[in-house]
């Protein structure tokens, strides 16, 4: 096959050849169909063995195309797993839309290779970055060939981009995407009914002044909670989609919880510092509001000492972490003769 032929071209050619060759390898297609029906949302998990069985050891043209999603559980990346779910939506929608047309449905199979468990098969494709999607068309022999890959700038993590990729490369139509609704219809109707029933009771309670809203402890708890989450930089983690922690680049067993550099933070990092921020204030409030009422003097003494040690350590830790993360060194402006 000459290299300059475009992909759709190759696809047409392969389809025409398929009709002749499909007869010789019907078992593989059947096997794939059974694998597909047994897997969740129709995405077949390819292993080292199945890759050689369905791709490398089958002579071209193969009677089917494979769309492979390259995954890595070990990477622990939220966007990647989200993209994987989107990929599953496309697969499920494709199967549902072409349910009664086996000639279309059995031409394309959605697959997945995980780098962490099947690194050998993964290595065959020479993938440099994730997420990546590759179309193995019936005529593809060199798996390292980049023409079957999705363009780097097209990979934006949405099901629509996958659909576009498939439709532009294979001339098949995926059809409308079926995303599961957030709440099913029965759930919604039950919720509406519950609200409708409880409204009069709620109004009665509000008028009487007996709701949780009238309990100042609830308000106190919520206030401290909002404060805690805000100073932890939780909104930063949500908006930027930062993970709780990442794996070290050099040693994959080592987890990195603290990111050096002012402009980013990891989830666990923010929460732990938020806790340090809060623990000092809460201890101080406990000492000044509650501990003064304790009758035992020695109890007071022990707790205060404990609280002061904890507070001191917390403040020191935050100061240390801050200068480590930002690289700022605070000048103290002592008189120069003191140095």
Partner 1 sequence: MAAVESLPPGTPSAMRNAFGTVLSALILVLIGVLAFSIRLFSVIKYESVIHEFDPYFNYRVTQFLSKNGIYEFWNWFDDRTWYPLGRVIGGTVYPGLTLTAGTIWWVLNSINIPLSVETVCVFTAPVFSAFASWATYLLTKEVKGSGAGLAAAALLAMVPSYISRSVAGSYDNEAVAIFALIFTFYLYIKTLNTGSLFYATLNAIAYFYMVCSWGGYTFIINLIPMHVLLCIVTGRYSPRLYIAYAPLVVLGTLLAALVPVVGFNAVLTSEHFASFLVFIIIHVVALVYYIKGILTPKMFKVAVTLVVSIGLVVCLIVVAVLVALVASSPTGGWSGRSLSLLDPTYASKYIPIIASVSEHQPPTWPSYFMDINVLAFLVPAGIIACFSPLSDASSFVVLYIVMSVYFSGVMVRLMLVLAPAACIMSGIALSQAFDVFTGSIKYQLSSKSKDNAEDNTSTKNAPKDDASSGKTDKGEEVSKERSSKKGKKKEREPAEKLSVKSKIVKKKALVLPLEASIVALLLLIMLGAFYVIHCVWAAAEAYSAPSIVLTSQSHDGLHVFDDFRESYAWLSHNTDVDDKVASWWDYGYQTTAMANRTVIVDNNTWNNTHIATVGTAMSSPEKAAWEIFNSLDVKYVLVVFGGVIGYPSDDINKFLWMVRIGGGEFPHIKEADYLRDGQYRIDSEATPTMLNCLMYKLCYYRFVETDGKGYDRVRRTEIGKKYFKLTHFEEVFTSHHWMVRIYKLKPQKNRIRGRVKKLKQKTSSGVSSKSVKKNPWM
Query: Which residues of this chain interact with partner 1, rule CB under 8 A?
Result: 199-200, 203, 206-207, 209, 213-214, 216, 219-220, 223-224, 226-227, 229-236, 238-240, 262-265, 269-270, 273-274, 277-278, 280-282, 284-285, 287-289, 291-293, 297, 300-301, 304-305, 308, 311-312, 314-315, 318-319, 322, 325-326, 328, 330-333
Could you tell me the smallest distance in angstroms from the CB atom of residue 14 to partner 1? 33
Could you tell me the smallest distance in angstroms from the CB atom of residue 8 to partner 1? 25
DSSP string covering 242-288: --S-EE-SS-TTSEE----STT---HHHHHHHHHHHHHHHHHHHHHH
Q: Which is nearer to partner 1, 15 or 315 (CB)?
A: 315
Contact 141, 60 (CB under 8 A): yes
Q: Which is nearer to partner 1, 73 or 308 (CB)?
A: 308
Closest CA to 28 of 48, 49, 58: 58
Q: Which is nearer to partner 1, 23 or 207 (CB)?
A: 207
Both structure tokens of 320: 């240390």
Distances (CA, A) of 2 to 48, 61, 219, 335: 29, 15, 72, 79
Q: Which is nearer to partner 1, 182 or 239 (CB)?
A: 239
Could you tell me the smallest distance in angstroms from the CB atom of residue 77 to partner 1? 18
Could you tell me the smallest distance in angstroms from the CB atom of residue 187 to partner 1? 18
Cα(12)–Cα(131) distance, rounded to whole angstroms? 28
Backbone Cα Rg of the chain: 30
DSSP-derived 3-state class of residue 90: helix
Q: Which is nearer to partner 1, 12 or 328 (CB)?
A: 328
For tokens 């001191």, the residue is 312
Could you tell me the smallest distance in angstroms from the CB atom of residue 293 to partner 1? 6
């Amino acid at each position: 096959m000459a290299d300059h032929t475009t992909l759709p071209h190759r696809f047409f050619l392969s389809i025409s050849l398929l009709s002749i060759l499909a007869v010789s390898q019907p078992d593989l297609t059947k096997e794939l169909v059974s694998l597909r029906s047994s897997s969740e949302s129709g995405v077949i998990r390819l292993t080292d063995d199945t890759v050689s069985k369905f791709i490398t050891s089958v002579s071209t043209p193969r009677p089917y195309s494979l769309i492979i999603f390259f995954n890595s559980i070990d990477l622990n990346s939220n966007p990647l797993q989200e993209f994987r779910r989107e990929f599953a939506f496309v697969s499920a929608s494709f199967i549902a839309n072409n349910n009664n047309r086996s000639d279309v449905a059995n031409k394309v199979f959605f697959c997945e290779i995980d780098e962490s468990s099947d690194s050998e098969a993964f290595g065959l494709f020479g993938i440099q970055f994730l997420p990546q999607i590759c179309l193995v068309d019936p005529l593809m022999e060199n798996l390292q060939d980049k023409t079957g890959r999705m363009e780097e700038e097209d990979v934006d993590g949405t099901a629509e981009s996958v659909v576009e990729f498939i439709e532009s490369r294979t001339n098949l139509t995926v059809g409308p995407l079926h995303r599961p609704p957030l709440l099913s219809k029965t759930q919604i109707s039950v919720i509406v009914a519950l609200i409708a029933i409880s409204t009069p009771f709620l109004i009665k309670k509000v008028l009487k002044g007996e709701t949780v809203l009238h309990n100042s402890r609830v308000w106190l708890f919520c206030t401290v909670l909002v404060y805690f989450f805000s100073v932890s930089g939780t909104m930063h983690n949500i908006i930027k989609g930062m993970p709780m922690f990442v794996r070290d680049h050099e040693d994959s067993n080592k987890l990195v919880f603290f990111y050096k550099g002012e402009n980013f933070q990891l989830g666990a990092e923010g929460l732990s510092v938020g806790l340090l921020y809060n623990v000092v204030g809460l201890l101080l409030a406990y000492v000044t509001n509650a501990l003064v009422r304790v009758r035992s003097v020695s109890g007071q003494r022990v707790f205060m000492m404990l609280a002061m040690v904890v507070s001191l350590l917390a403040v020191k830790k935050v100061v240390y972490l801050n200068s480590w993360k930002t690289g700022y060194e605070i000048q103290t402006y002592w008189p120069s003769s003191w140095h």
